[in-house]
Chains A and B, each alone.
Chain A
Amino acid sequence: MSTTLSKEPAREPAPEPTGAPPVFSIRKLWKVFGPKAERVPDSELADLPADELRRSTGCTVAVRDVSFDVHKGEVFVVMGLSGSGKSTLVRCLTRLIEPTAGTLEIDGEDVRAMDKSRLRELRRHRAAMVFQHFGLLPHRTVLDNVAYGLEIQGLGKLERRALAMKVVTKVGLEGMEHRRPAQLSGGQQQRVGLARALAVDPEVLLFDEPFSALDPLIRRDMQEEVIRLHREEGRTMIFITHDLSEALRLGDRIALMRDGEIVQCGTPEEIVAQPADDYVRDFVRDVPREQVITVRTAMRAGACSGPDHPGALAPDTIVATAIEIVARSGAAACVVEDGDCLGVVDHENLLAVVAGIGSERAAVS
């Protein structure tokens, strides 16, 4: 399974957080379930342990003081175990679940202040969601399921079917457009769910554990499908999962949630190489580190002496590749970006990554 973690080499790097305003900007977002929930956020009640809070007020905090930005074109993964509040969080983004407190903006527009029709507009055109249990209409054909979002927008039958047909082809379901959901396998059904979301041409795609109900092999296929779609269209995606390998595979950045809070938010490499606390460290313990960490992290900084840069690795080369090159040549390799030598990796650096003792050093530096 170790190779499954490696990212596609041809993927474009995530855009820098500077420049255009974020697609989603979330600040101090809370969701509390229960009676008079609004009294809990930012009060001393919020500091109570979950059991005690429930006993004294009947409330449960599902999302706790969460802040993050999602930038255009990036795949932002929210990952956590079940009960960590990640599904609630993604539903708050389009107010399928009403947030209790905090601010929530899409392209700088306040989502919480939207009236009903504006919110409907948001759901119809700007953010579409893919669900764990598909949510397909059993009485409709594949084509009409895919066209459902367009139908809600009020498109005519011919127009929406033509558009839907294009998307059906895009997700590889051509020839099955007249079947019913019950006649499809789980993976195919989720392709329909994906196609339905894509058909409305949304600015952001939201995925709520879309592949959790699928077999491992099918899951792999579907992950590749998402990577392919992202490469082709560059659409912004927010992806909820409880599967760490899925998060590492897909995410440009990962927010790790626990008990409603984000414990750490960063690139897969940052999460693996510099876990923020013991919980995260525990979480990533079994990750094959050499498949995630790049030589940029592993290298010893400082230019090499010669102009010929032996080895000449790009900074985002993963350690596993570097090991092979260094082992073959038997000498240290240079990390080169735009003709400049950023640093050097040798046996010692690379072994430290594999042994998991690099993180302390990185954290110190």
Chain B
Amino acid sequence: MSTLIPEKPAPEKTGSPPGGPQGPATRSLLLRRLSVMSPLARRLTALAALAVVLVPFAAVLWGSGAWPGELGVDVSGPLDDLSQWIVDNRDTSPVFLYFLLHISNTSVDAVDGVYSVLDGLGWPGVTAAAVLLAWCAGGASRAGLKVAAVALGAFAGCGLLGMWDPAMLTLALMTVAVAVSVVVGFALGLAAGLSRPVDRALRPVLDTMQVLPAFAYLLPFVLVFGTGSPAALLATVIYAAPPMARLTALGLRDADPSVLEASASLGASSRQQLLKARLPLARKELLLGLNQTIMMALSMVVIASVIGAGGLGDEVYSALSTVDVGAALAAGIPIVLIAVWLDRTTEAAGERIGAPPAADGPRLLRGGPAWAVAAVGTAVAFAVGKVAGAAQWPAGWTVDISGSVNSFQEWTVDNLHAGVPVLGGTEVWASNFTVWILNPLRDVLQGAPWWSLLLLVAALALLVGNWRNALGATAALAATGVLGVWGNTLDTLSQVLAALALTLLLGVAVGILAARVGWVERVLRPVLDVLQTLPQFVYLIPVVALFGVGRAAAITAAVAYALPAVVRITTQGLKKTDPAALEAARSLGATGAQQLRQVQLPLARPALLLAVNQGVVLVLAVVIVGGLVGGGALGYDVVFGLSRGDLGVGLVAGAAIVCLGLVLDRVTQPTVRETDH
């Protein structure tokens, strides 16, 4: 292509003189010194200068302990007033009567409607529909049978564990939430994909939403709608729509420009361009967006049981609150099964796109006829079920696992928690971990002068990013102090740091192993696939069984949740290093360790940084949810606020979680975003 694309004129490098009360002579000396420094050192020097000026001032004025009370703002009073006002006016204010009430009623009606359809179909009808749908998504061929088998297993599992009804309620919530999320996300993505200003406005919002823990979304909706399925549904929609919007926009933007040009050269109108070229080209991204939206919706619907969404999550939640591991597991397994079913079905549909039709063998049926078969099959199963009077899952076909699980749990308490020779026991580890690592870490953080933490965050953010990052991160951390939850935030932070360190240690080690040893990766891949699809909530069940209730349990769950992503990113980063560079190192006689240290790890640096960023976001999400199993701190404040109806406490904790999420993201996020335009 010799098309001339005008390049932007290179921005003039302007050395910004650092502010300071020096005389002109010293200033010019300083400037000369600064100009030879690397930009990073220059920025850090500027920060140090700023600190030298501001810190003594702040320390004298407000002391050097925890966040000074004078700098706080008590928001719980006004928040309580607000929530009281909402409670008082919910039935009279026009805002509620003509707008929010409609949303609330519509969502309740929609969920009820879907639930009654599922209920009316009966278990044979629902199972047949799910299985045939999976088969169609899998290409209606022999390859589709595998996907269909997963669906069959998932629904049989739900029934066998006696969780059919809660599972159907969860599915009904999911169906409504996903439908709305997809519509909203697609519309936003379409706007962002076609218009650059919309994209620029939307992107930072979506970026931020992606790093916030699910728990932070719950409270504002409870404030407005009260607990119950409308709040749960809306929180889910807000949580699950961003990936759809993001991937739709990405798919539309990344469409092969040569195809679009060819289409324009044939005289396509802009509508034809969109419908016949852009959207079909983006099908892969659209389906990936659907997949992610579904998985996030499931995760949120389960968590939203805390604010009154019924279904499987509610079973887990109530079981966990009485530390009934058996009952929690009986409800947790169906969640896993549903997650795997949904993931496999949407993934199979996504994989079929782009695969040449000849590749998956001769097909009996394609397109329309396959769907017709699915519809007829569902109808037949429904009719058979009706005739046989099998609307409810037969009571005789259930297996109660909670008893045996609980006796196994008691056995682990007796045998594994303590007194294992040499190793100690899980309870011992947990308490050692808490006493020797978590507590000192928390005490150091809470004992450190408040300004030193702000400074540290600013310096870290500068190291990986730029001034904007540093400013954002510092302001977010300060905001937690202003809100009056400095201590709790640092407690949560100490848990996040401990969990992150563990995650990175394990994740990078396993990632390196998987990248170098073929069979390790082959064994790990299906495990990671499943682990990555599970909702955060599910991870809490086994850790409570092993470690009891407490911070160590929450941290273990967080590590388990974040580990798959970190392992995967590390492995991919290492494997994607330029093979030519690796070959060159080998030809020079480098040993395996030298190759790793000198070539692979340096080249995989961007991937490793991404792993840290992802790890932090995922760890934070679960550490917060860990408030349910004794994680304490901010997560507990949210739960406490909800269960006591003390929304002031909960909302403040929620805001602090948002702030902490922003701090952690800004501090670990390399500024690669700025390069794309």
B1 at the interface (CB under 8 A from A): yes
State whether A33 touches B267 (Cβ < 8 A): no
Q: Tell yes or no: B5 within 8 A of A by CB.
A: yes
Whether B266 pairs with A134 at a CB distance below 8 angstroms is no
CB-based contact A81/B2 at 8 Å = yes
A:57-112 near B, CB below 8 Å? 58-60, 62, 80-88, 91, 94, 96-97
Q: For B356, list chain A residues within 8 Å (CB).
A: 179-180, 182-183
Q: Does B388 have its Cβ within 8 Å of any Cβ on chain A?
A: no
**Assuming A94-B265, A120-B267, A180-B357, is B4 touching A135 (CB within 8 A)?**
no
- Are B6 and A151 neighbours in the complex by a CB distance under 8 Å? no
B353:A139 contact, CB within 8 angstroms: yes
Q: Is A138 an interface residue (CB 8 A)?
A: yes
B267 touches A137 (CB 8 A): no
Q: Which residues of B contact A83 (CB under 8 A)?
A: 2, 4
- Contact call B3/A138, Cβ cutoff below 8 A: no
When the two chains form their complex, are residues B2 and A124 in contact, meaning their CB atoms are under 8 A apart?
Answer: no
A151 to B272, alpha carbons, bound, how many Å? 10
User: A-facing mask of B1-14, CB < 8 A → 1, else 0?
Assistant: 11111111100000
Q: Once the chains are docked, how many angstroms separate the CA of A96 from the CA of B266?
A: 10
Determine whether B447 belongs to the interface, using a CB cutoff of 8 Å to chain A: no
Instruction: Say yes or no: A152 contacts B6, CB within 8 Å.
Output: no
Q: Is B276 an interface residue (CB 8 A)?
A: yes
Query: Separation in Å of the B539 CB from the closest CB of chain A?
Result: 38
**Known contacts A85-B2, A88-B3, A96-B261, A58 near B9 by CB under 8 Å:** yes
Task: Give per-residue flags for A175-190: 1 if the beta carbon is below 8 A from chain B beta carbons, else 0.
Answer: 0001110110000000
Interface residues of B in 235-274 (CB under 8 A from A): 256, 258-269, 272
A55 within 8 A of B: yes
Is A128 touching B266 in the complex (CB atoms < 8 A)?
A: yes
The CA-CA distance from A129 to B276 in the complex, in Å, is 18
Is A5 an interface residue, CB under 8 A from the partner? no
Picked from A33, A54, A88, A153, the residue with its CB within 8 Å of the CB of B2 is: A88
The complex places the Cα of A179 from the Cα of B356 at a distance, in Å, of 8
- Least distance between A98 CB and chain B CB atoms (Å): 12
CA distance A206 to B9 in the complex (A): 33
Instruction: List chain A residues, Cβ under 8 A from B2.
Output: 80-88, 209, 242
Tell yes or no: A136 within 8 A of B by CB: yes
Q: Is A55 within 8 A of B9, CB to CB?
A: yes
Is the Cβ of A62 less than 8 Å from the Cβ of B267?
no
With contacts A124-B266, A131-B261 taken as known, whether A139 is within 8 angstroms of B3 at the C-beta atoms is no
- Whether A133 sits at the interface, judged by CB under 8 Å, is yes
A34 contacts chain B at the CB level, 8 A cutoff:
yes
* Tally of contacts, chain A with chain B, CB under 8 A: 116
Number of chain A interface residues as a range:
35 or more
**Inside 8 A of A60's CB, which chain B residues have their CB?**
4, 6-7
**What residues of chain A lie closer than 8 Å to B267, measured between beta carbons?**
119-125, 149, 152-153
For residue A52, give the distance in angstroms from its CB to the closest CB of chain B.
12
Asked whether B262 lies within 8 Å of A152 as measured between CB atoms, the reply is: no
Q: Mark B261-302, 1 if CB is under 8 A from A, else 0.
A: 111111111001000110011010000000000000000000
Asked if A132 is at the interface of the complex by the 8 Å CB criterion, the answer is yes
Q: Is B258 in contact with A152, judged by CB distance below 8 angstroms?
A: no
Complex alpha-carbon distance, A72 and B357, angstroms: 43
A211 within 8 A of B: no
With an 8 A cutoff between CB atoms, is A333 at the interface? no
Cα distance, A33 to B265, chains bound together (Å): 20
Asked if A136 contacts B259 (CB within 8 A), the reply is yes
Which A residues are in CB contact (< 8 Å) with B262?
A: 129, 131, 134-136, 193, 196
Residue B354 interfacial (CB < 8 Å): yes
State A59–B8 Cα separation when bound (angstroms): 9
- Residue from B259, B269, B280, B281 with most neighbouring chain A CB atoms (10 Å): B259
CA distance A153 to B256 in the complex (A): 22
Give A140 to B356 CA distance when docked, in angstroms.
10
**Would you call B266 and A200 a contact (CB within 8 A)?**
yes
> How far does the Cβ of A141 sit from chain B's closest Cβ, in whole Å?
8
Instruction: Tell me the smallest distance from the CB of B627 to a CB of chain A, in Å.
Output: 47
Query: When the two chains form their complex, are residues B6 and A33 in contact, meaning their CB atoms are under 8 A apart?
Result: yes
Establish whether residues B258 and A133, one from each chain, have CB atoms under 8 Å apart when the complex forms: yes
Instruction: Give every chain B residue within 8 A of A196 (Cβ-Cβ).
Output: 262, 266
Whether A128 touches B265, Cβ cut-off 8 Å, given contacts A83-B4, A88-B3, A88-B4, is yes
Besides A82-B1, A135-B256, 13 more A-B contacts (Cβ < 8 Å) are: A86-B2, A122-B267, A124-B267, A135-B262, A137-B277, A138-B354, A139-B281, A140-B280, A148-B266, A149-B267, A152-B263, A183-B356, A183-B358
6 A-B pairs with CB atoms under 8 Å apart are A33-B4, A97-B3, A121-B267, A124-B266, A140-B280, A200-B266
